[in-house]
Amino acid sequence: MGMSAKMGDSANIPGVFFADFGPAPPEITPEGYHEVELNKTKWVLPQWYNSLRPLGEGAYGVVTAEYEPTGDRVAIKKFFRPFQSTIHAKRTYRELKLLRTLQHDNVLEMIDVFTPDPDATSLNNVYFVSVLMGSDLQNILKIQRLTDEQIQLLIYQVLRGLKYIHSAGIIHRDLKPSNIAVNERCEVKILDFGLARAQDTEMTGYVATRWYRAPEIMLNWMHYTQTVDVWSVGCILAELVSGRPLFPGDDHIDQLTKIMSVVGTPKEDFWSKIQSEEARNYIKNRPPIVRQDFGALFPMASPYAIELLEMMLILDPDERISVSSALRHDYLREYSVPNDEPVAMDTVATDPAEEQATTLADWRELIWNEIRLFQNSARRLSFVSCTDNEEEPMKL
């Protein structure tokens, strides 16, 4: 069956519409653009982006390019089939909107966004440009073990970025090593806001890569809080100190089993917070498990790292440490600068237009407007090189 409007009926997903991949790309390259084929993918870019090179697959970009006016190399991400369905379009819109709105040292900075398509009706190709970071924690963990000092600095920056994100009323919901970009100067930027949401909206259960997903998400809590991101940071910290994922579950049930085998079965007052009767019965019927000794579980970790892990990896989110408190923890004392942890000036409210969009045409219009808003802003192509710091930074 072709990917047509009929697929939406056959897929039987309420409120989700599938289509073909949108209007065909323009046969003639638009004026001011040039076409490059790389990794069997066609890239249609403004002429000032040259010398494309593969960067790898995943959340952080696909190619690097030289920005001709300055000679700086940047990362360019081409959204993969952004209008394959309304779900894909919604994630593309959220990411563009948040990257346009959020401005912080530890959050990926969008320095350009463009499309070669002439109008909203024909919109099918969306690209955004960011500073080039070079790697991410997932790739770094494959090739080297980090020192305790490096881990402290990395986790401090992740939490510093989260403090800003949370102050804007946003929950990231998809923190994992591949979404933490790192450069050779050990500087961190949080990536990939396609699953992020304003906190005042009802939440859905399927978010985040399973291994780093907070238990309350899998237990179908409809109004979980910013501490879901703290759990994810705890999983990342555990992986940094041990060199391996802490909860590599094969499915939801296996994931919960692995989590409880480490943190123990919850207290009875926790059960009433679980809305899913099936999940509640599953936990009640399991034999009691005592929380593991984190010192024995992480023998290579420092006492302060173990203490912070114990405070992050608590099953009940109401008892889990907050980002602000984690930033003040003794484990991060060496890098803590409380007067240099900026927060957002305003919260990012739930977008009424996003809630009202129902068709791919609606999403094309919204994304087209986001592109135009950014292109008319002062931020476009105004990034500052980070090489002018006076102090010599730690290197990986």
Residue range 287-333, pLDDT digits in tens: 889 999 999 999 999 999 999 999 999 999 999 999 999 999 999 99
Residue-by-residue pLDDT tens, the chain, 396 positions: 343 333 334 344 445 555 554 555 556 889 999 999 887 788 999 999 999 988 765 433 468 899 988 899 999 999 988 999 999 999 899 889 888 889 999 999 889 999 999 999 999 999 999 999 888 999 999 999 999 999 999 999 999 999 999 999 999 988 999 999 999 899 999 998 756 555 544 444 444 478 999 988 887 765 778 999 999 999 999 999 999 999 999 888 889 889 999 999 888 778 777 777 777 788 888 888 999 999 999 999 999 999 999 999 999 999 999 999 999 999 999 999 999 999 998 888 677 888 889 999 999 999 999 999 998 876 665 543 333 344 455 566
Measured between alpha carbons, how far is 146 from 364 in angstroms, rounded to an integer? Answer: 43
Distant-in-sequence, close-in-space partners of 108: CB < 8 Å, separation ≥ 6: 99, 130, 131, 133, 181, 189, 190, 191
Residue limits of CATH 3.30.200.20 in the chain: 5-132+354-376
Give CATH superfamily name and number for 135-340: Transferase(Phosphotransferase) domain 1 (1.10.510.10)
CA atoms within 13 A on the CB side of 321: 19
Q: Is residue 65 a contact partner of residue 52, using CB atoms and an 8 Å limit?
A: yes
Tally: H helices and E strands in the chain: 14, 12
What are the φ and ψ backbone dihedral angles of 44, each rounded to 5 degrees? Answer: -115, 110
Instruction: Give the distance between the most distant pair of CA atoms in the chain.
Output: 68
Which amino acid appears at position 114 of this protein?
A: F
Q: Measured between alpha carbons, how far is 374 from 222 in angstroms, rounded to an integer?
A: 33
pLDDT score recorded for residue 270: 80
CA distance 57 to 59: 7
Give the Cα-Cα-Cα angle 85, 194, 141 (nearest 5 degrees).
125
Best CA proximity match to 126, nearest among 375, 378, 382: 375
Q: Where are the beta strands (DSSP E) in the chain?
A: 33-38, 41-46, 49-54, 63-67, 72-78, 110-114, 127-131, 135-136, 170-171, 180-182, 188-190, 197-198
**Per-residue pLDDT at 8:** 39
Output the pLDDT for position 83.
95
Tokens of 349: 């409210």
Measured CA to CA in angstroms, residue 196 lies from 87, 94, 363 at distances of: 13, 7, 17
The per-residue pLDDT for 9 is 40
What are the start and end residues of each CATH 1.10.510.10 domain in the chain? Answer: 135-340
Query: Strand, helix or coil at 266?
Result: coil
Q: Mark whether 316 is an active-site residue.
A: no
Query: Considering 112, 136, 174, 192, which one is annotated as catalytic?
Result: 192
pTM of the entire predicted model: 0.84
**Considering the domain 5-132+354-376, what is its CATH architecture?**
2-Layer Sandwich (3.30)
The Cα 94–Cα 314 span in angstroms is 30
State the sign of the Cα–Cα–Cα–Cα dihedral 210, 216, 220, 224. Answer: negative
